Structure 1
C-alpha cells in the first residue's frame, strides 16, 4: 500500500492527516488517552515534549555557513513576515476583544489566531516551489525560516504589542532547545547530519498529539471563515513580501509570493502559548482550527499563484526577437 505517498500528495499532509486523526479520536472518544494510559497517553497528550525535541533537531539542521546571498534573501523574507504579523497584531487588537470574538460569523477569531497564521512561513513548501521557479540561492533562503518555527516569534509579537506579558525565563525556555541544537549542529557536522534527519520524522507525532486537543465541532464552526483567513494571509503578507523581495532581496517578487504561506508547525502555536499563559486557553482551540484551515488554503493557493507570477515575469522580461530584412535575428 502507498499510504505515505498518498499522504504526501495532500498539502501539509504529514502534519494535517495525523492532526485530523487525533481530532477524530478527541471528538469521538475524548477519554482515550486516560483510559489506555502509559505510552499511549504520552503519545496522545505529549505535544510540548514532542515539539521540544523537534525544535532541537530543527536548530541542529541549520548551517551557519550559508552564503551571503542566501542570508540576505532569507533575512529579508523572514523579517518582513514578522513585521507584517506584528502590524496585524497591533491593528487587530483595536477591534478584537480579549479572548477573541465569541459569536456571529467571526466567532473564534482572535489576535492569537491571526498572529499564529501570519508569522511563520512553510519553509518546506517555499523551498520546493523556488527550486522550480527560482534560483538556487532563492531556494536556499528557507534556512532562516526555521528561526520562525515555534512559539518564540509569536510570544515576542504578543509581548511587544502589549497583548501579553511573558516572564524572561519563558522566552529563554521557548528558544533554548533550538539554540542548543543550533550550537551542536554547527560545532559538529556529524551532529547536524544525525539530528536533522529527525526533523521530518517528528512532524506526524506532534500533529497527532496536537489533534488530540481539538474537538472537530470547533473546526466545523470555522467553515468559510477559515478559508477567507487563509486567502487573507496570502494577500496581507504576500504583497509586502513581494515588494521586499524586489527592492531589498534583489528578486522579482516570486520568492515573496512563495513565502506567503502558513507553516504547518504554526498549528501548534496557540496551544503552546496557552500552556505558557493560561489566559489564552479559551481562544486556543478555535485559533488552532483557524490556523489549520489557513495551512490548507495557503498550501494549495501559494504554489499556483507563484507559478502564475513566475511565468508572468518570464514573459515580461523576455526580449522581443528582431529580424532584419533577410529574416536573420538581430542581436
Structure 2
C-alpha cells in the first residue's frame, strides 16, 4: 500500500500526521485513554516517558569525533539562533501578556510559542539540504543542532531572556537522558548504532501522544496565525543566521538559510515546559498548535529558499562554478621544471 512513502511526501509527515490523528481522537473521543486504560492509555498519554527515550537515543547518535571546523560552524549557527530566539522573546514580552493574546487575529500567540518556534532547527532537513547545496563541514554542523531538540534549550532561552527561572535540578533532569545516551554512544560505537535506530522510530509515537493534548478548535483558531509565525521564523532567524554564517562562520549564507526552520521536536516543548512551570499551562495548547503549523510552513519553504540562495550566492552560483572550474583546470595542467607555462 506504500503507506510510509505517502506519509514521507508530507513535510514533517511522521510528526504531523500522528499529531493530527491524536488531535482527532482527543476531539471526538476524549475519554478513550481512560476507557481502555493499561497500555492503550499509556500510548495516548505517555508523552514524557516516550520523549525521554527519544532524547536518550538522540544523545547516543551524536559522535564526539567532530572536526574543529564542524564545531565552529555548528556552534555559530546554534548559539546565534538561541540568542535570536531569546531577543525575540524579550521584545515580544513587552507587547504580549503573560497569559497570551486573547482577542483579535493574534489570539493564542504567546512568548512561549515564539521562542519554541524560533529556538529549534530542523536538523534532519538542514543536513539533507547541506549535503545537496553545502559542504561536508556544513552538513556536519547537524551534530550540535541535535542539542536544540527538546525543552532544555528552550528553558535556557527563557532563562536568558529573563522570562522564567527553573531550578537547577529541573535543568539537569531535562538534559540527563541526552547526556547518558551521549556517553554510551561514544563509549561503544555498536551501542551508538543500536540506539540511533530509535531516533526516527519514536517520532510518530510521541507525536500521537502530543496530539491527544490538542483539539480542532485550538488548531482552527491558530491556523493562519501559525502560518504567519512560520514566516516570521524564516525572516527573523534566517536574516540573522545568513549574516552569522557569512561573517562569523566564513560561509556563503546557504547554511544560515538551511537552519531557518522549526524542528518537529519543537512541538513537544510547550506541553513539557507547562508541566515544569505551571504559569505556562494556559498558553501551552495554543502554542503547541502554532508551533506545529510553523513546522509545516518552514518545512515547505526552507528547501525552496535554500535552493534559490545556493543558485544565486552558493555552490550553484555562476561565480562559484567558474571558480571551481578554474581550480580544476589549474590542477589538471602540470607545469614541469624548465617548461614554459601556456600563454594566456
Match of 1:123 in 2: 123
Report how many residues are paired: 325
Match of 1:68 in 2: 68
Deviations 1:293-321 (A, max 9, x none): 10000000000000001001213445499
Match of 1:324 in 2: none
Residues in 1 aligned to 2:208 and 2:20: alpha-carbon distance in whole angstroms: 7
Q: Secondary structure at the match of 1:99?
A: coil
Match of 1:233 in 2: 233
The runs of at least 4 consecutive aligned structure 1 residues that moved more than 6 Å come to: none
Match of 2:332 in 1: none
Match of 1:31 in 2: 31
Q: Secondary structure at the match of 1:180?
A: helix
Residues in 1 aligned to 2:180 and 2:57: alpha-carbon distance in whole angstroms: 9
Match of 2:5 in 1: 5
TM-score, normalised via structure 2 length? 0.92
Match of 1:169 in 2: 169
Per the alignment, do residues 18 and 330 of structure 1 end up closer, same or farther by CA in structure 2, a change over 3 Å counting? Answer: farther
Per the alignment, do residues 180 and 312 of structure 1 end up closer, same or farther by CA in structure 2, a change over 3 Å counting? Answer: same
Match of 1:220 in 2: 220
Q: Which runs of 5+ in 1 are unaligned?
A: 322-328
Q: Secondary structure at the match of 2:209?
A: helix
Residues in 2 aligned to 1:137 and 1:317: alpha-carbon distance in whole angstroms: 17
Q: Secondary structure at the match of 1:173?
A: helix
Match of 1:325 in 2: none
- How far has the Cα of 1:159 moved from its partner? 2.1
Match of 1:78 in 2: 78
Match of 1:187 in 2: 187
Residues in 2 aligned to 1:123 and 1:180: alpha-carbon distance in whole angstroms: 21
Match of 2:311 in 1: 311
Residues in 1 aligned to 2:225 and 2:179: alpha-carbon distance in whole angstroms: 36
- How far has the Cα of 1:15 moved from its partner? 0.7
TM-score, normalised via structure 1 length? 0.95
Q: Which has the larger radius of gyration?
A: 2
RMSD, matched Cα: 1.6
Residues in 2 aligned to 1:251 and 1:330: alpha-carbon distance in whole angstroms: 34
Q: Which moved more, 1:241-250 or 1:203-212?
A: 241-250
